[in-house]
Chains A and B, each alone.
Chain A
Amino acid sequence: MAKDILRKSEVFYDNFDRKPGLDKMTTTYCPGCGHGILHKLVAEALEDFGVQDRTMFVSPVGCSVFAYYYFDVGNIQAAHGRAPAVATALKRANPESIVIDYQGDGDLAAIGGAEILNAANRGEGITVFFVNNATYGMTGGQMAPTTLIGQQTMTTPKGRTVANEGYPIKMSEIISTLKAPVYVERVMLGDVKSIRKARKSVRKAIQIQIEQNGFSFIEVLASCPSNLKKTPIDSQNWVREVLQENYPLGVYKDISAKFVSPDKSKTPVNYKDLPKVLNIEETNIDKNRIAEFTNKQFHEQFKIAGFGGQGVLSLGIVLSEMGMRHDFQVSWIPSYGPEMRGGTANCSVQLSSKNIGSPVVDRPTVLVAMNRPSIDKFEDSVAENGYIFYDSSLIDIEPQRKDINIIAIPATKIADDLGTTKVANMVIVGAIIEKLGIMSKDVVLDSIGEVIKKQKLININKRAILKGVEFIQNLTK
């Protein structure tokens, strides 16, 4: 430890050049302010541990917003209450760094309640200094969540009441209930003795970050003479005699003896490996195999509808994926929103030899109906000379339109005969491909394995597609 606690730490700037105005020597803190004392303890510890270069200090919104005038370390100023979020990202960006999260009681316990709780709960390897001065210093002495019952502030002019404001919030107690924090202690800056004690805690908290990458939380009972409207001496006495009464000092949690930080290391990836990582490597499609299909001028617009779970969305995706492998222009868009909740689903797919404008299909050239409501809803919208493929094993009515081609296919039954009704959608894929003749059956069968994620399902999907193809072939025989 540094021998002389009164010496200005090397971690403080000699001159506070960032401070506006002519006086570059004194701080912005009022005489007797707890922030000034705590700053000294923190700076001294950072110097003694030799981590000045590695340290980044997150200053909050509150009287300590200008900590960066004083601390000669990497500095960042956070929005009101959000310092733990900022600290989280700093630490994760540079796990070797030392991150100090310094906050007041309004900042931490009121507006930033969610941020501190969750940073603590994630066990971020940061050190939190929480200054509990029972008031909002910077904005002129309003109530803080830590303000005592009966304490007069600008917003509790007759004293804080349980009825209107509730009880003071005890952050050390709350934080210590979480599993991840390593060290939680409440100290005070109430007299020389208690400051010496606080000094030890400050050091221990920083040391835990340096050596164990653990989360620690030091609540510091401190005075704000200006808003208590007391002299520095009287307000220090108040901290010792009144504030301490309400906020018992002590270690609320300490698992530092056995804490081992989870491995948070990351292995950076060479940019050359990114395509592999992102699964976007070149796929080779033999142009000869699709040549016959790429010269045709066409534009098919599909509406594919049924119950959720019948695989209507994936039916659309398979058609699209295959279209892409034929160098067509392709788009797929799901119905999403309230309809999905009701158990029905539909998607729009377009396959075209020219650019696709709107991906939305209002007038399908092909309707695939896997349940009855789909016929009811979409039959009228089908374009003249278009197609309806419907699952005749599930739908007990026939479409009425006479100006379109209607193909009844017992897809669910065919699929069931194959062993699972789940591939009824692929039976229809086969039927569409055979009927429309816009794609190569071989290419579809060969590349279905790239689209179906589960390896063991590839074969049954292939067989289902073939059954659909055969069904159409038998119809026209």
Chain B
Amino acid sequence: MGKQFLKGNEAVVKGAILAGCTAYYGYPITPASEIAHAAAKYLPLAGGTFVQAESEVAAINMVYGAAGAGQRVMTASSGPGISLKTEGISYCAGAELPCVIVSITRGGPGLGNIGPEQSDYNQLVKGGGHGCYKTIVLAPNSVQEMCDFGLMAFDLADKYRTPVIIAADGFIGQMMEPVNFPEPVKVFPAKPWAIKGTKETRKNVISSIELDFDDLERHNIKLQKKYAIIEEQEVRYEEYRTDDAEIILVCYGIASRVVQSAIDNLRAEGIKAGMFRPITLFPFPHERISQLCDKASNFLTVEMSNGQMNDDVRLSVEGKKPVHLLSRYGGNVHTIKEIHAKVIKIMR
């Protein structure tokens, strides 16, 4: 496969098509629009469907329909559009429909701006919609990962019959890097539960309603079991110089790229800093962070939000070590300098 220099937003579409995605339904919003542009260009060429929906609400419900029909289907949006999609994501989770939703997070709240933020962590990771559901959340920090996760997301979605969210920020979507493309997926899981307008699928029903209290309780317990298996099997993370680290900086997405540079500078000055990057935000790598508590004396989350992930790190650390926070907002990305200064301040 070839190597190509392209935007994160385009890479995720190409990865998805290589994964056998045949339908895209979406509504334009900066900084996610290039995803729709690429889908509009490439999906019809690949024999697939692209429809610009009348709203994000319609788009996610089209995704619900396509997933119900057994297609590999995706949508993408940002902030306000993700808010509109949450009801539909809850329906997909309830009806156990596999699908992929890409969030290119922008500045909030409200209309905010189109700069990169990580302020939708809670919405994406904690199940922004109603009901006791979770979605698998993958957080890429490079254009290569946008492509790779575009591919992986569909496998995870089908494996667990669940929506999977790719949670990137505006910078990861907008930046360009070289990508090595994986081989196209050739074998797809059977979906005997789907409805396709055929004799074989006639008895199937796709629904999230369970009128009977006990039936709905059983359904919820089944979902929770599924999430427990996901927590057991699908945790992914990356560590950078954590072996002997006294302070561990926890971060994801574009922030992790800046932190990595900051760590090198700190190490050059003899400060034992390391980076821990959750790749799956759900399932969150609680166990590994808890282990790291034995060695590190301090944790610092570097987030383009008010510390929404910081809560999860605290849950892992269980009060054993201090968990500090360095926030930026409004489209601003941390500078290496300010990360450096914060670490020095903590370690003195």
Task: Spell out A's residues near B (CB within 8 Å).
Answer: 18, 20-21, 52-56, 58, 65-66, 68, 72-79, 82, 85-90, 92-94, 96-99, 114-115, 117-118, 122, 266-269, 271-272, 274-275, 277-283, 317, 320-321, 324, 330-334, 336-338, 356-360, 362
Contact = CB atoms under 8 A, between A and B. Distances in A.
Interface in B53-85: 53-55, 57-59, 61-66, 68-71, 73
Nearest to B69: A93
Nearest 4 CB-CB pairings of A with B: A97-B197, A89-B65, A357-B261, A74-B195
Nearest to A274: B184
Given A68-B205, A359-B171, A278 B55 contact: no
Interface string B192-230: 000111110111111111011001000000000000000
A282 B186 CA distance: 19
A337 B113 contact: yes
Interface string B1-32: 11111000000001001101001010000110
B25 to A, nearest CB: 7
Contact of A324 (B3, B14, B69): B3
B326 interface: no
Given A282-B2, A333-B176, 14 more contacts: A55-B197, A68-B207, A74-B195, A76-B68, A88-B65, A94-B197, A97-B196, A122-B51, A278-B14, A278-B17, A280-B4, A359-B254, A359-B257, A360-B254
B83 to A, nearest CB: 15
B46 A274 contact: yes
Contacts of B262: 357
A277 B199 CA distance: 34
Contacts of A122: 51
Given A336-B31, A337-B115, A358 B258 contact: yes
A76 B65 contact: yes
Contact of A92 (B1, B49, B203, B259): B49
A87 B62 CA distance: 8
A79 B87 contact: yes
B333 interface: yes
A115 B202 contact: no
Q: Which of B5, B25, B31: most chain A CB closer than 10 A?
A: B5
Contacts of B118: none
Contacts of A362: 335-337
Given A54-B197, A280-B4, A92 B23 contact: yes
Contacts of A68: 205, 207
B177 interface: yes
B168 to A, nearest CB: 13
B58 A72 contact: no
B205 A93 contact: no
A31 to B, nearest CB: 20
A248 to B, nearest CB: 28
Contacts of B31: 336
Contacts of A324: 3, 5, 178
A336 B114 contact: yes
A187 to B, nearest CB: 26
18 contacts: A20-B215, A68-B205, A75-B195, A76-B68, A77-B95, A78-B64, A85-B59, A89-B25, A89-B73, A92-B23, A115-B61, A266-B49, A275-B181, A277-B45, A280-B181, A317-B176, A332-B176, A360-B254
B322 interface: no
B177 A331 contact: yes
B205 A82 contact: no
Contacts of B113: 337-338
A345 to B, nearest CB: 13
Given A20-B212, A86-B68, A89-B66, A76 B205 contact: yes
Contacts of A96: 197
Nearest to A115: B58
Contacts of B54: 114-115, 117-118
A281 B42 contact: no
Nearest to B63: A89
Given A53-B198, A266-B49, A362-B336, A78 B61 contact: yes
B185 interface: yes
A274 B17 contact: yes
Contacts of B70: 93
Contacts of B66: 89-90, 92-93
Interface string B115-139: 1000000000000000000000000
Nearest to B48: A266
B47 interface: yes
Nearest to B49: A92
A271 B181 CA distance: 14
Contacts of B209: 65-66, 77
Contacts of B176: 317, 320, 331-333
Contacts of B62: 85-86, 88-89
Contacts of B261: 357-358
B202 A73 contact: yes
Contacts of A271: 20, 184-186
B178 A277 contact: no
A278 B68 contact: no
Contact of A358 (B48, B49, B88, B260): B260
Given A77-B207, A92-B66, A278-B42, A336 B174 contact: yes
Nearest to A93: B69
A333 to B, nearest CB: 4
Interface in B152-176: 170-171, 174-176
A456 to B, nearest CB: 22
A41 to B, nearest CB: 20
Nearest to B207: A77
B331 interface: yes
A267 B261 CA distance: 47
Nearest to B337: A362
Given A282-B1, A336-B31, A337-B115, A79 B178 contact: no
B49 to A, nearest CB: 5
Given A77-B205, A89-B69, A275 B58 contact: no
A266 B20 CA distance: 15
Nearest to A266: B47
Interface in B246-271: 254, 257-262, 264
Contacts of A53: 197-199, 202
Contacts of A356: 257
A59 B330 CA distance: 42
